[in-house]
A = this chain, B = another copy of it.
Amino acid sequence: MIRDEKHIPNAVIKRLTKYLTCVQDLLSQGEEWVSSHELAEILSLTSSTVRQDLTYIDFSGISKKGYECRTMITVLSRLLGADIKWNVVVVGAGNLGKALALHEEFARRGFNICGIFDVDKNKIGEKVGKLVVRNLKDMPKMISSHDVDIGIMAVPSMAAQNVADLLIASGIKGLLNLSLTHIIVPRKVAIIDSRVIASLMELTHSIKSKRV
């Protein structure tokens, strides 16, 4: 049987990450099975959405019992790439960059942070946990020699596109953009925005519109 990895819509992928972490929590609490209704309840969704989403993955539930947590975790992990190790560099050794480099949850989730870089002479040489802040110029070498997949960009907006271009030229496969600026990347490079300030603006709009 040929596995057809059909294209999965972005909205579905976002929810699949939620299913994965949710079911991991449930399993750690001793739940072996979960139904679409339970998942929907926990994640503020409809059971229809849950079942529809799960048709995208190579995995079936069982009538009357629901979905087996262990299997679901295995299949979702493989699909999302949560079952393998990823090498990551952080660019920008400001507060945010350093915090991310120190965040234990990354290692626990398979993201091995193997370098942190900056252009600021005052920051270069600074210790960040087991790492030392290095000159951005040395980054391309590092990316190719250590087979780095992902670049986390915690740099000022002004520098973001240039840093992205350098990462891309060095052969990076995916970027996580934490700056406010929109980054333009070639089709072959994956990029996700995780812009905390933009999220705060969404939040303030939502707060305003709730108090009518």
Q: Is the CB of B204 within 8 A of A174?
A: yes
A181 to B23, CA, bound (A): 11
A22 within 8 A of B: yes
Chain A 118-137, CB within 8 Å of chain B: the 1/0 string?
00000000000000000000
A173 within 8 A of B: yes
- Which residues on B sit within 8 Å (CB–CB) of A20? 201
Q: Is the CB of A174 within 8 A of B194?
A: no
Chain A 89-120, CB within 8 Å of chain B: the 1/0 string?
00000111011101101100101000000000
Q: How large is the interface on A (under 10, 10 to 19, 20 to 34, 35 or more residues)?
A: 35 or more
Considering the complex, which residues of chain A in the window 187-212 have a beta carbon less than 8 Å from any beta carbon of chain B? 188, 190-194, 196-211
Q: Which of A60-68, A74-82, A138-146 contacts B (4 or more CB under 8 A)?
A: A74-82
What is the minimal beta-carbon distance from A12 to any residue of chain B, in angstroms? 10
Q: Is the CB of B199 within 8 A of A176?
A: yes
Max count, chain B CB within 10 A of own CB: residue among A106, A157, A204: A204
A-B contact pairs, 20 of them (CB 8 A): A8-B209, A13-B202, A21-B157, A21-B181, A81-B201, A81-B204, A86-B204, A94-B103, A95-B98, A99-B100, A103-B196, A109-B197, A109-B200, A173-B207, A174-B203, A176-B200, A176-B203, A178-B196, A190-B207, A192-B203
Chain A positions near chain B (C-beta within 8 angstroms): 5, 7-8, 10, 13-14, 16-18, 20-22, 25, 42-44, 79-82, 86, 94-96, 98-100, 102-103, 105-106, 109, 111, 149-150, 157, 173-176, 178, 180-182, 184, 188, 190-194, 196-211
